[in-house]
Structure 1
Amino acid sequence: MNVVILNHYPPVLVDYAEWLSDFVDTFTLIIPEKYKEYFDSKNGYNSVITLKNYFNDNELSEVISEVNSEEKITHIISISEKDTQRAALLREYYGIRGQKMLSATLYRNKFWMKRKVADSGFLVPSFKLVHNTDEIINFIRKYNYPIILKPISEADSIGVVKINEEKELVALDIEYPMLVEEYIECKNMYSIDGVVINGNPALIVAHKYHDKPMENQNKTSLIIVEQLLPGDPMSLRLVEYQKRLLKEIPHEAKAYCFHTEVFHTLNDKIIFCETASRLAGARIPQLIKLSYDIDLEGLNIQTQLGIRNGFPINSRQMPEKKVYSILLPKKLGKVVSIPDEKEIPFNWVVSFSPLIRINEVISEKNGSTDVASFLIISLDIHEDLNIKLRELQTYLDESIVYEKICSS
């Protein structure tokens, strides 16, 4: 077995050495050069190739060709949305089993994704692939403001813009082609997350966004993602929705994770937003592990490689607590202080993961999950979330300190 893993995530998000601890000599990890000190032999990685320009296909194709010439590659693993199509193309080129290009395109390209989902009978926002401002204006004439403008192949709400009036449209510097959509007024947005094994969904878990992701970029207070209990009526409804959706989009891998986002409208309809053949961000995988005692990404990779076959039978089927992922937005300025996880005085805070560093200067935010820190909290089912959030917000405001930077 000769496995290649494409990975641009930092070590805090992935643990291939643990997931493949008994097979450390069978895989080669390809990473950005900036992470080379973290993925080394001391940390359980015996074969690592670093790329100066990770997303340069010329660099990637050269190293893949070299690895394959030494021993035929049997598997190409990628868990990031940005690597989905690259990995699929390489599998087809080298005749390797796994997700192929059509599936990767339907999961990655938002235009073809929505076209496929709409053609399969699901409700989707009205949409159009546009190549110039005139096409956007024609769309607005038909559907009115506000509209949503988004890149066809980005994640984490990067590049997504809500346009409310003409002057906002005129002010934009747009890189075409783009996808334009009607704006959906909704009560809530939800994500549906889980894993498929041997063609069947092994676990589907629903999560509620307390805020719409694209509106988080300018938010300063805590952003909340709530895991729904399995018996929650909306959870039951979303699980069935996801089962239908999985049947419509092809995927050739023995195992794969999924992440779907939907709108729940004011008149109780579920409207498709988008889907991906990877796990969610916002620490949703950690929520699933906390509730169900399953590391979905590890299970996914191990099943693809034939190391495991099937779903762990000892997994908890009913969560014992209500769990939430808390995103703390960044503030502009120089980071002066950050608390240590051990200093946080609340026993219901399960983990605290800062993504900023002392003396780091924050000058901008990129996307809905470009945040200062993630926290996971676990509460008894009947505990009041709002009381806990007020306590947590006060503590974080006092303990994470920024120094204002004066512009010259």
Structure 2
Amino acid sequence: MSNVAVINYGQKLDYAAMLPELVDRLQVFSHHELKSTESFARYEYVENCEAVPYAELMIRRLARERPFTHIVTDNEYDLERVARIRESLGIPGQSTKSALSFRDKAVMKEVASRTVPTAAFARLDSVVELTGFIEEFGYPVVVKPVKQGGSRDISVLRGEDDLLAFSRTPWREDLMVEDFIEGQMYHVDAVLGDGFRFVASSRYLRSCLGVFSGENSGSLQLRREDAFAKRLEEFLDRTLDAFDVPPTSAYHLEVFHTPDDELVLCEIASRVGGDRIPALTRATYGVDLHTAALRLSCGLPVDPPVTTPPAEVHGSISILPQGRRVSPPGRPPFPWVTHYEVNEQLAPDAVTLHSASHLCFAIVRGADTAEVEKRLFETEAWLMARLAVRESAGPGWPES
């Protein structure tokens, strides 16, 4: 009989609905407080879960009484420790070697470069390696932590002034540098397992780094039958050929399309894409990426994805936190806006901390990528024109 340990991150994941066959055998340790946990075999909210080893220790202790058949997580930052637990307890799943290759961006690029183009890169032990890299490859360059996500703590150095400014910030021991790649950024989101294959491609509305210079973020889907979408899917397959892949996993691949029509790997992660990606995928294809990946990882059946082209595709636009107290607009009046949501957990004077930061977001539909893009810009303009400064917090707005 199955006994499943879960290290959860998602605040809205409903494990009882996703894994009803196993709900009374789920031992859940969660970064955030969850609802509908009464039927779990065990549930604990673990404060600062990512940084403390409590969940790992407890899973090992519980395994002495009743061995686990599966250990899963939805959190990229937990992949390595979950892999360590599996290996120490003899449980199948992603290995520590595999988890590291998808988590450490320097290892990732070294592995991926066997089968696909990547930017030139180097791990940094000191500023000497950084200046040496710049001397060899020139500006601009990108400096970032090897295991960070959401475009956090990334610096783009475009010249000597940027380098001097960067030299005044505290040095970190987990940095790498890579050549800056010009081009549009696409993402490919997939769940692959025994007898199951779902792959969908999308384009970011703007650079993920644009949020730190005040640009709103967004994503819009390509039709899967489009030639470029098929090209991106083939690039995913070639990328994964270089890796030690687990029997089942979700993947989030980011790819540059350069002005000279080359595809260059940015990053690949063995987890479900963040931001609005799961919602867009459900809206267009009826596939819940989290549910599919978790069920396959626990050996449960998943209905095969529909192969017929969808009637419409979707996109999202997220309005950034404004750094001041503003009143979010109401729902845009357009009939093709299928969902609108205000981030009621956001502090009134919050600033952008990562690429998924948002004050509010909208999802729109359209016949194809071009129509979705046009509607995203129209929605964005409507929302931005109606942001209003407010003097005090109201319902749903915590005081600073």
TM-score between the two structures when normalised by the length of structure 2 = 0.90
Q: 3-state SS of the aligned residue for 2:94? A: coil
1:338 deviation in Å? 5.4
For the pair 1:195 / 2:194, whether they are aligned, the reply is no
Q: 1:311-322 alignment to 2 at 5 Å?
A: 311-312=303-304, 315-322=306-313
> What amino acid is the match of 2:15?
Y
- Report if the CA contact (8 A) 2:196-2:304 is conserved: no
For the pair 1:354 / 2:355, whether they are aligned, the reply is no
- Cα distance in 1, alignment partners of residues 258 and 81 from structure 2: 35
Point out the more displaced range, 102-111 or 233-242.
233-242
> What amino acid is the match of 2:22?
F
For the pair 1:10 / 2:11, whether they are aligned, the reply is yes
1:298 deviation in Å? 0.6
Q: 3-state SS of the aligned residue for 1:361? A: coil
- Report if the CA contact (8 A) 1:191-1:260 is conserved: yes
Q: What is the match of residue 320 of structure 2? A: 329
- Cα distance in 1, alignment partners of residues 37 and 390 from structure 2: 38
1:365 deviation in Å? 1.7
1:86 deviation in Å? 1.2
- Cα distance in 1, alignment partners of residues 26 and 374 from structure 2: 47
For the pair 1:232 / 2:233, whether they are aligned, the reply is no
1:209 deviation in Å? 1.2
- Cα distance in 2, alignment partners of residues 93 and 327 from structure 1: 42
1:395 deviation in Å? 3.5
- Report if the CA contact (8 A) 1:124-1:271 is conserved: yes
1:149 to 140, 143, 151: 143
- Report if the CA contact (8 A) 1:205-1:230 is conserved: yes
- Report if the CA contact (8 A) 1:328-1:373 is conserved: yes
1:357 deviation in Å? 4.2
Q: What is the match of residue 371 of structure 1? A: 358
TM-score between the two structures when normalised by the length of structure 1 = 0.88
Q: 3-state SS of the aligned residue for 1:325? A: strand
1:400 deviation in Å? 4.5
- Report if the CA contact (8 A) 2:72-2:294 is conserved: yes
Q: 1:247-396 alignment to 2 at 5 Å?
A: 247-253=241-247, 255-308=248-301, 311-312=303-304, 315-337=306-328, 339=330, 343-357=331-345, 360-381=347-368, 384-385=371-372, 388-396=375-383
Structure 1 gaps of 5+ residues are: none
1:47 to 42, 55, 71: 42
Q: Deviations over 1:310-331 (max 9, x none)?
A: 5526x25311113112222111
Q: What is the match of residue 243 of structure 1? A: 237
Q: Structure 1 59/382 Cα, relative in aligned 2: closer, same or farther at 3 Å?
A: closer
Q: 1:79-228 alignment to 2 at 5 Å?
A: 79-118=74-113, 120-172=114-166, 173=169, 174-186=171-183, 188-198=184-194, 202-220=197-215, 222-228=216-222
- Report if the CA contact (8 A) 1:194-1:204 is conserved: yes
> What amino acid is the match of 1:392?
T
- Cα distance in 1, alignment partners of residues 349 and 84 from structure 2: 37
- Cα distance in 2, alignment partners of residues 402 and 229 from structure 1: 39
Q: 3-state SS of the aligned residue for 2:287? A: coil
> What amino acid is the match of 1:373?
C
Q: What is the match of residue 396 of structure 2? A: none
Q: Structure 1 394/46 Cα, relative in aligned 2: closer, same or farther at 3 Å?
A: farther
> What amino acid is the match of 1:366?
L
Q: Structure 1 384/40 Cα, relative in aligned 2: closer, same or farther at 3 Å?
A: closer
Q: Structure 1 264/276 Cα, relative in aligned 2: closer, same or farther at 3 Å?
A: same
Q: What is the match of residue 69 of structure 1? A: 64
> What amino acid is the match of 1:349?
V
1:131 deviation in Å? 1.1
> What amino acid is the match of 2:87?
E
1:272 deviation in Å? 0.8
- Cα distance in 1, alignment partners of residues 308 and 388 from structure 2: 41
1:266 deviation in Å? 0.9
Aligned-residue RMSD, C-alpha:
2.3
- Cα distance in 2, alignment partners of residues 24 and 46 from structure 1: 7
Percent of matched pairs sharing the same residue: 25
Q: 3-state SS of the aligned residue for 1:134? A: helix
Point out the more displaced range, 284-293 or 175-184.
284-293
- Cα distance in 1, alignment partners of residues 352 and 377 from structure 2: 24
- Report if the CA contact (8 A) 2:142-2:157 is conserved: yes
1:101 deviation in Å? 0.3
> What amino acid is the match of 1:251?
V
Q: Deviations over 1:119-150 (max 9, x none)?
A: x1311111000111111001000011110001
- Cα distance in 1, alignment partners of residues 179 and 328 from structure 2: 42
- Cα distance in 1, alignment partners of residues 345 and 281 from structure 2: 27
Q: Structure 1 394/60 Cα, relative in aligned 2: closer, same or farther at 3 Å?
A: same
- Report if the CA contact (8 A) 1:293-1:316 is conserved: no
- Report if the CA contact (8 A) 1:333-1:404 is conserved: no
- Report if the CA contact (8 A) 2:7-2:55 is conserved: no
Q: Structure 1 74/184 Cα, relative in aligned 2: closer, same or farther at 3 Å?
A: same
- Report if the CA contact (8 A) 1:7-1:79 is conserved: yes
Q: Structure 1 101/404 Cα, relative in aligned 2: closer, same or farther at 3 Å?
A: farther
> What amino acid is the match of 1:138?
G
